[in-house]
Structure 1
């Protein structure tokens, strides 16, 4: 089953008690400290932009807004739902996804879980970059990096474009890695559990697949298995 379909089913189930009920959307700007990594969970959509000034804005139904937490822990911005701080009614009527708009000057890691989504509206530049997705989540990024470490599990999708000189990829559990538009010199890709990977490699590709998984590539690399 495709990851996008699984995400839709999980989100629909999560919000089934709230069908047809909604309140007005509100937005709130948040003051946060410096960070270089983002972690999002709990059916939250994050829209990323690389810019000179840090900013965070949350959009959600008015009675849910206070339960959406945006906290910097170490160098990581953690975005999640704190259901203990919201009423039972607001939890049952939270029928729309929460959106969080994040602008930051530097970023080297994104992690998403629990039917959440992260996407960028600008390219992100870094030496090393890590992407992790699990639990029917989705990441869509444009990157300009030297070294990329990417992993997806539990029917998650990674959609990457741009450039990564080196990439190391591990996908499992009916996940997809769609990176034909991410140009790289060398790549090491492992896929298992009915997963699919699509990579563009110029120099050398190390690939290993199992359990009805496939690794597809563009370019003319030396292939090691």
Structure 2
């Protein structure tokens, strides 16, 4: 019995060690050879800088501690760049882990976990879909598409600095916030389930609903249809 207990303890200690990767002090920048993609899916504890530019082909680099960078994979599947960990591990990092991506256009972005993302340049096209799951923050410089869809679940925050779209569908589930005063929207569906906040600018029609204690503040003079279940509020901003 004693031998069995010692064996189990050894296995447990080994498991803990292998599931807590410590990067070396050496910082490297790794370049990834990838095929063309228009969407990005991030499932790793990494900050992401996306630059929309007039380039012939996309480029992807990751900078961080060598031992940590080696545990990150970047592959393209069906037009989606997937950034993920090789296995279920927790990183013990002294230096930031950062991905720099340059691409001609983007149609969708999914963030899972605690990744913070900044998109510079103008996003154009028929539509752009943003999905934030967890505590990641997303900052968008300029959005100019026909349609914008955003779903935030957890405690993530979304900031859209400027732009204009014909229609938007923005959903918040949890404690996340959406600051989109700088985005001019003609027609919008806005919903909050939880304690999140949403700041928006709408010119024509706004369908707004709240389930919980969240709040929606809007600028503009749209016709408003509202539905509140709880102590939340839908108010015109000053």
Scaled by the length of structure 1, what TM-score is found?
0.85
Q: Secondary structure at the match of 1:80?
A: strand
Contact 1:145–1:163 at 8 Å: present in 2 too?
yes
* Superimposed CA distance per residue, residues 131-168 of structure 1 (whole angstroms, 9 cap, x where no aligned partner): 00011111111211110110101111111131221100
**1:106 counterpart residue number:** 105
Q: 1:97 to 1:82 in 2, by over 3 A?
A: farther
Structure 2 residues without counterparts, runs of 5 or longer: 1-19, 227-238
Distance 1:97 1:135 in 2: 19
Which structure has the larger Rg? 2
**1:121 counterpart residue number:** 120
**1:130 counterpart residue number:** 129
Q: How big is the shift at 1:26?
A: 1.0
**1:11 counterpart residue number:** none
What aligned pairs does 1:137-216 form with structure 2 within 5 A after superposition? 137-141=136-140, 142-161=142-161, 162-216=163-217
Query: Which has the bigger relative contact order, CA under 8 A and spacing at least 6?
Result: 1
Distance 1:212 1:36 in 2: 36
Q: How big is the shift at 1:42?
A: 2.1
Q: How many residues of Structure 1 are paired with residues of Structure 2 in the alignment?
A: 203
Scaled by the length of structure 2, what TM-score is found?
0.80
Structure 1 residues without counterparts, runs of 5 or longer: 1-16
Contact 1:26–1:61 at 8 Å: present in 2 too?
yes
- Runs in 1 of length 4+ with deviation above 2 angstroms? 91-97
* Superimposed CA distance per residue, residues 174-195 of structure 1 (whole angstroms, 9 cap, x where no aligned partner): 1111100111111110011101
Cα RMSD for the two superposed structures: 1.9
Contact 1:44–1:80 at 8 Å: present in 2 too?
no
Contact 1:18–1:95 at 8 Å: present in 2 too?
no
Structure with a larger share of its residues in strand: 2
